Structure 1
Amino acid sequence: MKDNIGLITQSDKEFYKENGYWVSPVLFDEQEIEELRRAHERIWAYDYDGDGYPLDEWRPTNNPKMLRKIDNSWWINDAVRKTVTNPVLGRLGAGLMDSGGARLWYDQVIYKPGTGTGEKDALSPGNVGWHQDYIYWQCTDTSNLVTAWIALQDTDLTNGCMSVVPGSHKWGLLEGSDAFFNRDLEAVKSRIAEESGRAWKEVPVTLKAGQASFHHALTIHGSGQNHAERPRLSVVAHLMPDGMAYKKHGRHNVDNIRLLGPRPREGQPYDNHYFPLLYSDKQ
């Protein structure tokens, strides 16, 4: 990772506070990007570092023509581990969260297949439905988490870049926003827009290879079809403020609760080695 990345500026913080997302400068050089592209190949081939397994996985028949996502691959791939636990990434995330520190909540490696056609497919196998991350994370005592989405190639609408709804992080948690795997983007959009009662404006987040987009856990986002021949590859680091704790709730990510132990307690911090500290202003 480039070591000359400055701290989050006041202007950056104000933009993020108003819009719920922010785009970084280029953080990773060509060699690091190539390492992460090879990490993708190894992960989908079940070629793991060490004798362990990721947190869970979602890759139907491991079909390269389908959307593939895997969680906590930092456990089984050294290149991903080095990336998602980098202190610079933590420093940027902590600045946006206005926190004294940042820990890794978990990571994702996401593969969006290319169709190689300019024809629009409303139900493309690579579509990621509009959603809010926090609807899956209600076992936390704050919604002030931030996601860093790292592009491993130049990414725009031609290959299915992420789009965000600016300001939607101020709308609160919407019950219809759990549609990551719903490929019908227009139907999801209509449902969420109706529930929110707000005007809908979506903005594509275009990135150069090695850039990262950061978005708030309540920011509505999704992505459409990859028209390119090659797959769109990304590594995603979900970051939390240091000191975040468990909150009992009917809906939550059971796997993340399990990492606290068999009987998590209200107020128990997520501060063990499963949630590594990336950055602290006390260090």
Structure 2
Amino acid sequence: MSSAHELTQEQSDRYWQDGFLFPLSVFSEDEAAEFRAELEQVEKDWLAADLPLPLNTYKRVNAHLVIPLAARIAQDKRILDTVEGVLGPDIMIWSAEFFIKEPQTKQTVGMHQDLTYWGMGETPDQVTAWIALSPATVQSGCMDFVRGSHKNPILPHTDTYSETNLLSRGQEVAVDVSEDDKTHIELKPGQMSLHHGLTIHGSGPNASNDRRIGLAIRYLSPGAQQLVADRDYAMLARGSDAHSNFVPVQAPDALFSPEALALYEQVRLDQSKALAEGADSAVPLYTKM
């Protein structure tokens, strides 16, 4: 039985032509508001807790391993129905990350290609779904995509380590991107975009009076393969994994349980070989501080 969230052939063709697709409505604004309220309650309850790592690290890296909300959204049938139009029936969750820009702040995301730092080469077996939990507008610092840029190989990048860049290394693609080449990805709460891991993208500062909150979920099909790290991990969300290229992990039963925290640290340790490869100094999100 078909789903209202399945991509049409026209939408699928547009994704592969442009390297991105938006806006796609997956949740109602009320649902998005409930997700946001749950996340902000986690922030309130756990900010001062005695966790092994800062709370922001758990929100920004592999949140689906320790925060049930992230895993629940990533496993939602409506998102998976859409993602299936890109990856096919077998879908794994590689990571989920909350990207939050506080109101009236200067934090940005430099223009970059995701696959530069994943250790998976230029594989087509991936897609990122970015779900807005608050309004993503030009004023609040929505994402900007460069149409057709996924047809490039992995381009040279520079690690800026800028304090205002939300990326782990402040990474930016080492080519000039004209403002005229950017498509502003404005989304209402509950809407999402899809983008390819080679698509050049970034975002500006949040000049609005509200937080800009998004959840980026990195989906893989089982044909993807980690080429740099010795081991990598993924959560099967739909279908089956006939390749066994990734160690299977399960969604957490509770917030920051001892078992989930132990798994998180093991995954972080193993993935750091790929995610921090080539860095000329420590990458705090992926290495012990």
Which residue number corresponds to residue 119 of structure 1? Answer: none
Which residue number corresponds to residue 215 of structure 1? Answer: 195
Task: Give how far 1:87 is off.
Answer: 2.6
Which residue number corresponds to residue 113 of structure 2? Answer: 132
Over residues 224-271 of structure 1, what are the superposed CA-to-partner deviations in whole Å (9 max), with x where a residue is unaligned? 011111110111111111342332x3xx6x8xx3548xxxxxx85125
Matched, 1:167 2:167: no
Which residue number corresponds to residue 192 of structure 1? Answer: 175
CA distance in 2, matches of 1:131, 1:268: 29
Over residues 35-61 of structure 1, what are the superposed CA-to-partner deviations in whole Å (9 max), with x where a residue is unaligned? 22123313434539xxx979x76849x
CA distance in 2, matches of 1:173, 1:161: 23
Which residue number corresponds to residue 225 of structure 2? Answer: 245
Find the partner of 1:108 among 97, 118, 130. 97
Which residue number corresponds to residue 65 of structure 1? Answer: none
Find the partner of 1:269 among 228, 238, 245. 245
Distance 1:33 1:139, change over 3 A: same
Task: Give how far 1:143 is off.
Answer: 4.1
In structure 1, the gaps of 5 or more residues are 61-67, 116-123, 261-266, 277-283
Matches within 5 A, 1:17-166: 17-45=16-44, 47=46, 59=56, 70-97=60-87, 99-115=88-104, 125-139=106-120, 142-166=123-147
The answer to whether the 8 Å contact 2:125/2:223 transfers is: no
CA distance in 1, matches of 2:179, 2:203: 19
Task: Give how far 1:221 is off.
Answer: 0.5
CA RMSD, aligned part only? 3.7
Distance 1:100 1:129, change over 3 A: same
CA distance in 2, matches of 1:111, 1:229: 13
The answer to whether the 8 Å contact 2:159/2:171 transfers is: no
Distance 1:230 1:143, change over 3 A: same
CA distance in 2, matches of 1:179, 1:147: 23
DSSP 3-state at the match of 1:244: coil
Matches within 5 A, 1:231-242: 231-242=211-222
In structure 2, the gaps of 5 or more residues are 235-242, 253-289
Task: Give how far 1:32 is off.
Answer: 2.1
Task: Give how far 1:17 is off.
Answer: 0.9
The answer to whether the 8 Å contact 2:101/2:206 transfers is: yes
The answer to whether the 8 Å contact 2:233/2:249 transfers is: no
Over residues 194-235 of structure 1, what are the superposed CA-to-partner deviations in whole Å (9 max), with x where a residue is unaligned? 8xxx99711101111100000000001100011111110111
Aligned length: 239
The answer to whether the 8 Å contact 1:243/1:271 transfers is: no
Instruction: State the one-letter code of the partner of 1:159.
Output: S
The answer to whether the 8 Å contact 2:135/2:187 transfers is: yes
Distance 1:268 1:238, change over 3 A: same
Task: Give how far 1:107 is off.
Answer: 0.1
Give the alignment's TM-score, normalised by structure 2: 0.69
Give the alignment's TM-score, normalised by structure 1: 0.71
Distance 1:178 1:100, change over 3 A: farther
CA distance in 2, matches of 1:170, 1:143: 11
The answer to whether the 8 Å contact 1:148/1:215 transfers is: yes
Distance 1:152 1:226, change over 3 A: same
Distance 1:168 1:6, change over 3 A: same
The answer to whether the 8 Å contact 1:129/1:183 transfers is: no
